[in-house]
């Protein structure tokens, strides 16, 4: 009988244990996990004995009752079998006599045997369903808990994680919960119980020697199964690691679909993927070989035990101390025991690997969010929405400072723009305002309240963000706009879309507001996505607004529409704009010029031009570029009027 082994990593989780280093909980483990499985099992307890769910606890008790009943029936069956055999032998007609004696007692024994089998099968099913209620509830709870936890973790964690790998950790972890409950409750405990009952019966019928042989055989069998399984765990881990690796590569490659196309690197990607799949193939084959060795060893040990016991029973029959029925019974009992015993190796391995997977997931669950609310932190109370940065210093990595002693104020209801070369730290300022990271020095206050002292939820509720690069949910436009305020009515959504100058466009689509936007919103252009983002911020209606202007140049018409939409949203709100095109912020109340993380200039447009510093030179450069563009457009227009343009030139 072969141990069931699907060979699929999903079905038999065994991923390397969780080296949940900060930011990378999915790194494949190369070292052995610490053997603290008791802690992991203890972590599982609240899920299988759930508080506040007396119904599930009752099911657990009921299921254990059934479990004991099933095992009592199981060991009774060979006894009925023995009785039927002995009855038959007693009723075999002696040579030369006529048969045809009454069969009532014999038939009754056979029917009892049949009934016992039916009851065993029936109660087993009822028991399994009861356990599954508990197991599946545990899976759901753990899944929900992990999902919520992942949303609580900080931006840094999410930037550094590998989506594909993380997915597998969660998948395997939740599978492991079901597996441990199923394997433990439906196999390991019943088998142990069966062994105890069986030993008692064997003692009663045959005495100590046979019990000693059976127990020795079972111990040797389990010992071998554990040793061989331990050896196989490493092999399985290699298989799972290579599977995770292939998965991560595939997800990453598909996420970068466009980049792959730009560089025509499909071949390279396929090769990289194949290298991982080849490793998986090799590891899987190794795993199948080792499984064969395990199964063969188990069969040899069991058969030696069975043969010895049968020889002893046969000797008893010949000596007249035992009946043929006893001989048949002992064989039936051992064969019956072999079925669950045969799964012992697998159960041991699966439970052990399940614990490893669960540990990885618990480590992920134990990962502390980098940014946490201070104990007793209150909600931010916004009056006007004055933002102040006082001497703020910040670094993503301690070795590389990004912001150096930055101080500025955005008075309530005013608009302040941040400009500066790429990489100067402009977007970083917005991330700090949202408190995605904690700062190394100084403080950020809103209406005099330190942003690190209030709850993150209230802080973020007060700020609306229109990001540079809007990513949308793969759902309808309606859903994406309503995301700004989940309880907004359809009319409010339409009104927001009108203000954001996107309503007309949406209505030209065949499915209007019900149009799907595609993965990450890829079916919409950059300008359209940004207007969806503006519309949802209008719905959110926050007192403070953070606008990260799109870097990519939009055509002048779209740009004007977006600018108008933004101006409308910004009216009456404290607004911080990260600007790439200076022409859009000449009217800002104050312009901050950031260079390499240092605030080098600040003032109004006119003041900064008069100062003739960095801002003035950035302005000159942009004006020149714009003028050149305008001139080119004018020349092309004139040429077209004169009919002097070849078709190819029009593309310029």
Q: Which residues bind ligand ATP (CB under 6 A)?
A: 159, 396, 402, 422-428
Q: How far apart are CA 426 and CA 548, in angstroms?
A: 9
Phi, psi of 402 (to 5 degrees): -105, -50
Q: Residue 284: how many CA atoms within 13 Å on its side-chain side?
A: 15
Query: Closest Cα partner for 461 from 568, 541, 566?
Result: 541
Minimum gap (Å) between residue 403 Cβ and ligand ATP: 8
**Inter-residue contact 25 to 364 (CB < 8 Å):** yes
Q: Give whichever of 68 and 155 is closer to ligand ATP, judged by the CB atom.
A: 155
Q: Give whichever of 138 and 402 is closer to ligand ATP, judged by the CB atom.
A: 402
Q: Is the dihedral of CA 225, 228, 232, 234 positive or negative?
A: positive
Minimum gap (Å) between residue 618 Cβ and ligand ATP: 12
Q: Give whichever of 114 and 423 is closer to ligand ATP, judged by the CB atom.
A: 423
Long-range contacts for 332-337 (Cβ within 8 Å, ≥24 apart)?
332/77, 332/78, 332/81, 332/82, 333/75, 333/78, 333/198, 333/201, 333/202, 334/214, 334/305, 334/306, 334/309, 335/306, 336/74, 336/77, 336/78, 337/194, 337/195, 337/198, 337/218
Minimum gap (Å) between residue 580 Cβ and ligand ATP: 6
Q: Give whichever of 428 and 584 is closer to ligand ATP, judged by the CB atom.
A: 428
Minimum gap (Å) between residue 396 Cβ and ligand ATP: 3
Report angle CA 475, 479, 483 to the nearest 5 degrees: 120
Bridge partners of 366, per DSSP, are: none
Minimum gap (Å) between residue 164 Cβ and ligand ATP: 20
Minimum gap (Å) between residue 551 Cβ and ligand ATP: 6
Q: Give whichever of 302 and 615 is closer to ligand ATP, judged by the CB atom.
A: 615
Minimum gap (Å) between residue 436 Cβ and ligand ATP: 9
Q: Give, in order, the Cα–Cα distances in Å from 550 to each of 6, 11, 145.
A: 51, 46, 36
Q: Give whichever of 552 and 612 is closer to ligand ATP, judged by the CB atom.
A: 552
How many C-beta atoms lie closer than 10 Å to residue 511's C-beta? 10
Q: Give whichever of 19 and 596 is closer to ligand ATP, judged by the CB atom.
A: 596
Q: Give whichever of 426 and 573 is closer to ligand ATP, judged by the CB atom.
A: 426
Q: Give whichever of 184 and 425 is closer to ligand ATP, judged by the CB atom.
A: 425
Q: Which residues of 295-317 are buried (b: 16+ CB within 10 A; e: fewer)?
A: bebbeebbeebbebbeebbeebe
Minimum gap (Å) between residue 468 Cβ and ligand ATP: 7
Q: Give whichever of 135 and 424 is closer to ligand ATP, judged by the CB atom.
A: 424
Minimum gap (Å) between residue 405 Cβ and ligand ATP: 16
Q: How far apart are CA 512 and CA 435, in angstroms?
A: 36
What angle, 0 to 180 degrees and rounded to 10, lies between the N-to-C axes of helices 490-499 and 556-570?
120
Minimum gap (Å) between residue 534 Cβ and ligand ATP: 19
**Inter-residue contact 63 to 130 (CB < 8 Å):** yes
Minimum gap (Å) between residue 422 Cβ and ligand ATP: 3
How many C-beta atoms lie closer than 10 Å to residue 461's C-beta? 15
How many C-beta atoms lie closer than 10 Å to residue 139's C-beta? 20
Q: Give whichever of 338 and 615 is closer to ligand ATP, judged by the CB atom.
A: 615
Minimum gap (Å) between residue 582 Cβ and ligand ATP: 13
How many C-beta atoms lie closer than 10 Å to residue 387's C-beta? 23
**Inter-residue contact 306 to 331 (CB < 8 Å):** yes
Q: How far apart are CA 637 and CA 629, in angstroms?
A: 12
Helical spans, DSSP H, in 153-188? 155-160, 163-183
**Inter-residue contact 636 to 642 (CB < 8 Å):** no
Q: Which two tokens stand for residue 74?
A: 């199981």
- What is the side-by-side strand order in the sheet with 415-419? 463-466, 544-548, 574-578, 415-419, 590-595, 598-603
How many C-beta atoms lie closer than 10 Å to residue 95's C-beta? 5
Q: Give whichever of 223 and 396 is closer to ligand ATP, judged by the CB atom.
A: 396
Minimum gap (Å) between residue 519 Cβ and ligand ATP: 23
> What is the β-pairing status of strands 598-603 and 590-595?
antiparallel
Q: Give whichever of 143 and 393 is closer to ligand ATP, judged by the CB atom.
A: 393
Minimum gap (Å) between residue 128 Cβ and ligand ATP: 49
Q: Give whichever of 104 and 422 is closer to ligand ATP, judged by the CB atom.
A: 422
Phi, psi of 400 (to 5 degrees): -130, 90
């Amino acid at each position: 009988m072969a141990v069931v082994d699907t060979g699929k990593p999903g079905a038999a989780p065994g991923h390397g244990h969780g080296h949940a280093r900060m930011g990378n909980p999915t790194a494949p483990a190369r070292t052995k996990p610490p053997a603290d499985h008791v802690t992991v099992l203890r972590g599982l307890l609240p899920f299988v004995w759930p508080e506040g769910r007396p119904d599930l606890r009752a099911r657990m008790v009921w299921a254990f009752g059934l479990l004991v009943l099933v095992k009592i029936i199981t060991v009774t069956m060979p006894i009925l079998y023995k009785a039927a055999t002995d009855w038959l032998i007693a009723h075999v007609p002696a040579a030369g006599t006529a048969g045809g004696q009454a069969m009532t007692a014999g038939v009754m024994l056979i029917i009892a045997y049949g009934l016992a089998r039916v009851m065993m099968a029936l109660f087993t099913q009822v028991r399994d369903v009861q356990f599954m209620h508990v197991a599946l509830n545990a899976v759901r709870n753990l899944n929900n808990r992990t999902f919520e936890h992942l949303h609580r973790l900080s931006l840094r964690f999410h930037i550094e994680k590998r989506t594909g790998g993380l997915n597998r950790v969660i998948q395997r972890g939740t599978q492991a919960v079901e597996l441990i409950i199923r394997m433990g409750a439906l196999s390991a405990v019943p088998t142990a119980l069966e062994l105890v009952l069986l030993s008692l019966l064997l003692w009663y019928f045959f005495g100590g020697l046979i019990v000693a042989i059976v127990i020795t055989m079972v111990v040797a069998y389990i010992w071998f199964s554990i040793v061989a399984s331990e050896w196989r765990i490493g092999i399985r881990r290699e298989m799972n690691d290579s599977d995770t690796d292939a998965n991560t590569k595939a997800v990453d490659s598909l996420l970068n679909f466009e980049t792959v196309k730009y560089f025509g690197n499909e071949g390279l990607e396929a090769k990289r993927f194949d290298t991982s799949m080849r490793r998986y193939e090799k590891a899987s084959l190794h795993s199948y070989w080792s499984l064969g060795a395990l199964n063969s060893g188990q069969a040899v040990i069991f058969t030696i035990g069975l043969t010895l016991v049968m020889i002893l029973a046969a000797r008893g029959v010949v000596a007249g101390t035992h009946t043929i029925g006893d001989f048949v019974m002992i064989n039936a009992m051992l064969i019956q025991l072999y079925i669950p015993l045969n799964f012992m190796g697998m159960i041991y391995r699966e439970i052990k690997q399940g614990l490893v997977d669960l540990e990885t997931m618990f480590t992920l669950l134990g990962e502390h969010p980098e940014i946490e609310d201070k104990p007793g932190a209150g909600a931010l109370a916004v009056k006007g929405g004055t933002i102040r940065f006082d001497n703020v210093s910040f670094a993503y990595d301690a070795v590389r400072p990004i912001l150096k002693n930055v101080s500025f104020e955005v008075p309530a209801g005013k608009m302040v723009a941040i400009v500066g070369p790429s990489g100067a730290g402009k977007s970083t300022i917005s991330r700090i305002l949202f408190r995605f990271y904690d700062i190394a020095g100084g403080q950020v206050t809103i209406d005099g309240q330190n942003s690190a002292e209030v709850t993150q939820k209230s802080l973020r509720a007060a700020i609306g963000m229109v990001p540079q690069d809007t990513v949308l949910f793969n759902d309808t436009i309606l859903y994406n706009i309503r995301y700004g305020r989940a309880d907004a009515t359809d009319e409010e959504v339409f009104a927001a879309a009108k203000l954001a100058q996107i309503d007309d466009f949406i209505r030209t689509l065949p499915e209007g507001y019900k149009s799907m936007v595609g993965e990450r919103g890829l079916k919409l252009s950059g300008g359209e996505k940004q207007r969806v983002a503006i519309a949802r911020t209008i719905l959110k209606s926050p007192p403070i607004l953070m606008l990260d202007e799109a870097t990519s140049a939009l055509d002048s018409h779209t740009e004007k529409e977006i600018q108008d939409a933004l101006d409308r949203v910004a009216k009456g709100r404290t607004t911080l704009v990260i600007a790439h095109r200076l022409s859009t912020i000449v009217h800002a109340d104050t312009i901050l010029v950031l260079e390499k993380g240092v605030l080098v200039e600040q003032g109004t447009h006119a003041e900064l031009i008069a100062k003739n510093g960095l801002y003035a030179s950035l302005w000159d450069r942009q004006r020149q570029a714009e003028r050149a563009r305008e001139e080119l457009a004018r020349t092309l227009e004139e040429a077209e009027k004169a009919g002097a343009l070849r078709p190819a030139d029009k593309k310029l």
